[in-house]
A and B are shown apart, each in its own frame.
Chain A
């Protein structure tokens, strides 16, 4: 042992160096050692100045020490049961001498002498380190596997308990009594330094010194134990074990650790006993305490989550009730008793649970449940109102602090991820929005939350072009007649909106001011997160939310376009839904600026009356004023009217001279009836007016109608819009007769053109072999009808699809006068018909609606604009887009209703054609 080691160990005692082994009995001859030195310890003072008395005491003490330590030293092998030692007289004397008598050492090893208690503690330490620790370290060396946690803990606990017993037994038997008696005999100052350890009650009945020694010994032992089981690993394992115990006790099915619960339910009582035993054992060997409590807290934390996930995640879809009350019950009757049990086992100071704690746990659980619910909120919204139960849960959750913020942010995220992307159709978004409105109304009737949550959706909906169209056309859809199929197949209509519309009108009149209604016993203040100027909208039904998506004027413009289109197609002669919609909008949005819509509605309603009176005028040929009602007279007395109209010659349509003489002997038949819708064009949106020639009989009827109209209404003229309207016809072939209803005018016109012309009767007479009648090609038809090629083709495709025409060559069509009988031929016809029908359907879908959009207008006038731009750029040099736009707005005849974007598009197109060139930075010039 070199000098350096000695110096070091004198400052920091090294156990193996300072600890003495019991002196062998065979070498008791202490007298021969140098004066002042003892045989045993290297720390026995070697000062020469120790006088005789001290030396004598030293010798005596050394002998006693030797005897006592020999008696107390531990066997290498840990016995299963603490061995019972029988003290001899000699040993007892030595113990008394060392512990209570003169050889006693005050705390802090005076003069380097070692107290017996410390020695024994060190002895235990060394023994533990040499004999027990390797075993435990083996157990705890690696991460403890989940499946083995229980065993490892059990084993450690068993080993430690056994060792502890072995260590404690001699201490309790042979050390403590003497300490006690020593303390009794000598008056010692009580030890104020003893730290109060209320958590671990030691033997309070013993007096201070012995109690302190005992407590200290235990503490040292426990520190030793705790040190040898890796603390992190231990608390993790314990935490897991407790979690596992909780899971088993509460039969949790979905666990975080991925362990599948054993199929047959275990015996809970037995299991509970096992857990209790383990915990108590751990507490005994000092592994309880704060660490264990921390581990327990972790376990409970996880347990709460798992339990909620396992038992309460399931939404009550059927009875639509909240699960919160059950959850609270469980906390009170299931969770708390477990906590109490564990705390009891761990000997915590306060092992009963306070009511406030129960409440706070319930809140905690509610918060967790709420979070889980909120994470799935979007799904609940979609499944509204089956998911009412979930919403009731969330409603409870909203009372938790911070819940609203969480809900808002989480839901906004879900919405932006799952709803507001290009893949979702507008109808779908609208439907979800409606669900949101309904669901959040349930969550918070005051609507503050809804407003916050819905903002991004509203913004997004506003950006979509087809939103207004879908809303309005859905509002106009009849729910009862067009059942189901229409909504599923056609994504342009929202069933939700339609059904909302079908509900009776909310009683709008009654609510004066809810806030001032003193009799309202259900009144509630606004939520605290409402902004100071928050005003709840008076009507909160879904339609209101939809109608207020836009600025009022924008919406009404859109409404005008859609309503116009709709009215022209509408089959309902009473226009009930349209009237209702208009009333509804008037009620919601006020009735100014709705003039155009009202006029449109009035036009279609009046048209019926005008029709009737003109028919009367036409049929009863003699001049009569029956159609001129007194009411009209009084209303517009100033209008010059046809008081004495010249008797119109009843011109039968068939006799009208025209380039397409119909072969129908119209004189014999009553002839077609012409019903017209007379529009006040100023108030209608721009309508399609592709011009073409309608069948002669129709144009004759139209002329006559127009004349009559002018006579009745004075100073007013009609302009026929042939692209709009509908017709129904009967086709008689050589072998069959077919009826067609609801055809577009151009379809009728095209098929009408296939009738034999005056010079073609002979062709019609002799049918070709294949049963084909007259054939015409596309350009012929264009000439005959003055019709656009695209319309001709579309109509031809339609008729091919109906097996009326057959395409005999490229662009040439012939009438199928007799349907072929041979299978092969009919098969080919069928195929062609199917293909053509499909084509016609696609083309019809592409056809613009009756109302012309801005885009159509731009396309139509593109050439004019292009010419204007080129002229301008040539004359004035290169220009930026803004300037071009400004010039066009000022100079183009008829105004230029478009913006910069359209001009840019136009310029790009022209660049593609090589007419202009972009210089970058929005400057454009003519290409030289």
Chain B
């Protein structure tokens, strides 16, 4: 007997490939969820990984950095917040790729 698979409809769940502390330090929502303003996770509410290895929902960290009092520092470690230019964790991106406007603000 031969089995030929014609079609396969699979189901998969995605998650951000992040270290274990999977809560955004600002909104306290899980990374897999959205920031407090967004409706849809994923593409519309991406994460931003800082050079200090703290990551946040992009919208969360932006609105933080916009505030005067933040002095553009990471809210977790008080180091100046810089977006990590390369994706350190994503498996497929081994070559350093520079996002066009990855610097904050």
Contacts and interface: CB of A to CB of B under 8 A. Distances in A.
B86 interface: yes
A16 B27 CA distance: 116
A570 to B, nearest CB: 11
A706 interface: yes
B2 to A, nearest CB: 4
Given A643-B97, A682-B30, A707-B92, A677 B5 contact: no
A640 B90 contact: yes
A854 to B, nearest CB: 20
A669 B91 CA distance: 30
Contact of A646 (B16, B87, B94, B99): B94
Contacts of A663: 2
Contacts, number: 219
B7 A728 contact: yes
Contacts of A748: 3, 5, 8
B10 A713 contact: no
B32 A638 contact: no
Contact of B3 (A639, A644, A705, A729): A729
A724 B11 contact: yes
Interface string B14-26: 1111100000000
Nearest to A722: B10
A642 B8 contact: no
A598 interface: yes
A734 B2 CA distance: 9
B6 A679 contact: no
Interface centre among A602, A705, A722 (most CB of B within 10 A): A602
B87 A729 contact: no
Given A602-B40, A672-B5, A731-B2, A706 B87 contact: no
Nearest to B33: A682
B70 interface: no
A714 B87 contact: yes
Nearest to A598: B39
Contact of B39 (A595, A640, A702, A731): A595
Interface residues of A, number: 81
B4 A645 contact: no
B97 A672 contact: no
Given A640-B97, A713-B14, A662 B90 contact: no
Contacts of A717: 14-17, 91
B33 A638 contact: no
Contacts of A643: 97
A568 B11 contact: yes
Contacts of A722: 10
Contacts of B10: 674-677, 698, 702, 705, 720-722, 724-725, 745
Given A676-B10, A677-B12, A714-B87, A732 B94 contact: no
Given A711-B93, A727-B5, A721 B12 contact: yes
B77 interface: no
Interface in A722-758: 722, 724-734, 739, 745, 748, 751-752, 754-755
Contacts of A713: 14, 42-43
B33 A731 contact: no
A716 B15 contact: yes
A172 interface: no
A729 B5 contact: yes
Contacts of B99: 637-641
B54 to A, nearest CB: 14
Contacts of B89: 715
A676 B41 contact: no
A640 B93 contact: yes
B33 A683 contact: yes
16 contacts: A595-B39, A638-B99, A662-B3, A664-B3, A669-B4, A679-B12, A683-B33, A698-B10, A705-B10, A710-B17, A715-B17, A715-B87, A717-B91, A720-B12, A727-B5, A732-B2
Interface of B: 1-18, 30, 32-34, 39-44, 46-49, 58, 83, 86-87, 89-95, 97, 99-102
